Structure 1
Amino acid sequence: MTLVIENISKKIQNKTVLHNINFELNEGEIVGLVGRNGAGKTTLFGTIAGELLPDFGRIGLNELDYINTTTLHDQLFYVDMPDNWLKYYSPQKIKEILKIAYKDFDEDWYDLEITRFDLNNGKRIRNYSKGMRALFMIIVSFASRAPYILLDEPLDGLDVLIRDQVKQMIVNQVIEHNTTVLIASHNLVELDTLVDRILLLKNQTIDRTFSIEGNKNIKKYQLAFVGDKLPEFLRGSGTIIAQTGHIVTIVFNDFVEAIGIKLAGPDFKFVEELPISSEDIFRASFAKEAHAWQQELEEEA
């Protein structure tokens, strides 16, 4: 089964938010959706889920129109964060509601996780802390047993220890139930150990897809150069992401044999290859965007 997002466009108050969006989600994969704040991630999620109607395009599932086929609506789970109807109810009441909406709702697993994380079963969600609300949304999403789950900034507000447990929960549920998860985030580091591939939402459309496995030609090195001046070929061949004195960390977008030969030459005291991450791939592929992205994150911090 494949969820197909085909030529989706959406305007809000005469402003184009999404334009000609195309991608597919296959069974059992975790896909990241990244974009700067205001890029349209939440609008895209709402459109896929049918909360917003697209101006053009279709959402297809099993060759059927998902939005216009009500029997398919329990195949996808999405609730907008942080404000949604769930906040007015307790976990116990929410369970009773969702058991009707989702025929495969996993009541036993839901109860087990609510107890495991010490979430008050009789307390309204709006009275939870930010972290508890985020944790509850992960639990209720997977308890739905919908084959497709959309998570919007799911790790926001979680402390380090809970975040690691939630990441493991996501991975376990995908493996055990062959669930497909689309995770929207502006934090590439959080996605790095979770996703199979990443979609970049830019200029109202999916600008491109990238993954570590699909970018073997991208390499990351830490090196120390000889002399007072940075070898000129480095700036032309890669993206420098850190420099302290003569020590440079650099990502090469297209690492070829000629670069390797130069790195092995007398201009360098030492050269060490480092593990590559999704953030490194983003930086290498979109140097200007990466600089703007980093500035935005620093301003938010």
Structure 2
Amino acid sequence: MTLVVENISKKIQNKTVLNNINFELHEGEVTGLVGRNGAGKTTLFGTITGEFLPDFGRIGLDGLDYYKMPSLHDQLFYIDMPENWLSYYSPKKIKTIMKVAYKNFDEAWYDLEIKRFGLNNSRQLRNYSKGMRALFMIIVSFASCAQYVFLDEPLDGLDVLIRDQVKQMIVTQVTEHNTAVLIASHNLIELDTLVDRILLLKDQTIDRTFSIENNKDIKKYQLAFVGETLPDFLRESGTIIAQTGHIVTIVFNNFVEDIGIKLAGPDFKFVEELPVSSEDIFRASFAKEAYAWQQELEAEA
């Protein structure tokens, strides 16, 4: 079974939030969704799962139109966090509701996880801590036994020990039940340890899909330059993520031969290539914006 997001566009209050979104989600795969604040990640989740209706496009599930097939609606699970209608119910009451909405709801596993993490079964979610609410949402998401689970900042507010257990829960569910998971997060370091690939939401659309192994055009270097000023081509071609004196760490979004030739020239004392992370790719994807912002700061100084 494959979930196909096809040409999805959405306006809210006459403002385009999503424009021509296309991608697929596959069973047994964890996919990350990243973008700057306000990029439209939550709107995209809501539109895919039917909370909002798109202005254009369709969601295909196993060749069928998801919106037109109510019998398929228990195959997707998404609850907007942190505040939602579940906040006024206890886990005990929520279980009753979910058993009606999701025909394969795993009551036994749900009860076991609520007990294992010491969650108060009779207490309304709004009285939980931020971390406990986030933990509960993970539990109820997978207890739904939906084939496609959408998690919006699932690790936000969790302490280190609980976070590790939640990450293991995600991996276990994907492995044992072939669940497809789409995770929206600002924590790209955490995503690197979880996901198979990442979707970058930029300028209202999916700007690129990437995995660390398959981005040969993106390079990261640490280098020491000669002279008093940073060579202009570095700012023009890359995103500087750290600088101490003459030592610079830089990411190039589109590393071409000409850049390599310049780095090998007399303007540098040493040049060392470093491993690239998802966070580096994210920074590189916004290189033009970062450069313009830096230019503004220098003009004001």
Tell me which interval the TM-score lies in, with the shorter structure as reference length.
Answer: 0.7 to 0.9
Where structure 1 has 5 or more consecutive residues not aligned to the other structure, the ranges are 295-301
Report the Cα distance in structure 2 between the residues aligned to 1:118 and 1:30, rounded to whole angstroms.
27
Q: Tell me which residue corresponds to 1:93.
A: 93
Summarize the Cα distance change of 1:218–1:102 in structure 2 as closer, same or farther, 3 Å threshold: same
Q: CA-to-partner distance for each residue in 1:262-289, whole Å, 9 max, x for gaps?
A: 6566654444332211111122232034
Q: Tell me which residue corresponds to 2:171.
A: 171
Q: Tell me which residue corresponds to 1:186.
A: 186
What is the aligned-residue identity percentage? 84
Report the Cα distance in structure 1 between the residues aligned to 2:119 and 2:211, rounded to whole angstroms.
36
Matched to 2:94, the amino acid is I
Report the Cα distance in structure 1 between the residues aligned to 2:169 and 2:242, rounded to whole angstroms.
34
Deviation of 1:257 after TM superposition, in Å, equals 5.9
Structure 1 residue 136 and structure 2 residue 136: aligned?
yes
Report the Cα distance in structure 2 between the residues aligned to 1:292 and 1:37, rounded to whole angstroms.
18
Deviation of 1:97 after TM superposition, in Å, equals 2.1
Report the Cα distance in structure 1 between the residues aligned to 2:56 and 2:155, rounded to whole angstroms.
32
Q: Tell me which residue corresponds to 1:248.
A: 248
Matched to 1:228, the amino acid is E
Summarize the Cα distance change of 1:38–1:286 in structure 2 as closer, same or farther, 3 Å threshold: closer
Q: Tell me which residue corresponds to 1:220.
A: 220
Report the Cα distance in structure 1 between the residues aligned to 2:292 and 2:28, rounded to whole angstroms.
33
Where structure 2 has 5 or more consecutive residues not aligned to the other structure, the ranges are 295-301
Deviation of 1:261 after TM superposition, in Å, equals 6.1
Q: Tell me which residue corresponds to 1:148.
A: 148
Matched to 1:195, the amino acid is V
Summarize the Cα distance change of 1:19–1:236 in structure 2 as closer, same or farther, 3 Å threshold: closer
Report the Cα distance in structure 2 between the residues aligned to 1:50 and 1:265, rounded to whole angstroms.
56
Deviation of 1:45 after TM superposition, in Å, equals 1.1
2:20 alignment partner, SS class: strand
Please tell me the root mean square deviation across aligned C-alpha atoms, in Å. Answer: 2.4
Q: Tell me which residue corresponds to 1:104.
A: 104
Q: Paired residues, what number?
A: 294
Q: Tell me which residue corresponds to 1:11.
A: 11
Deviation of 1:291 after TM superposition, in Å, equals 6.6
Q: Tell me which residue corresponds to 1:52.
A: 52
Summarize the Cα distance change of 1:157–1:237 in structure 2 as closer, same or farther, 3 Å threshold: same
Matched to 2:68, the amino acid is N
- More displaced 10-residue stretch of structure 1: 58-67 or 257-266: 257-266
Taking structure 2 as the reference length, what is the TM-score of the superposition? 0.87
Q: Tell me which residue corresponds to 2:71.
A: 71
Q: Is the 8 A contact 1:36 1:293 kept in 2?
A: no
Q: Tell me which residue corresponds to 2:298.
A: none
Report the Cα distance in structure 1 between the residues aligned to 2:157 and 2:290, rounded to whole angstroms.
24
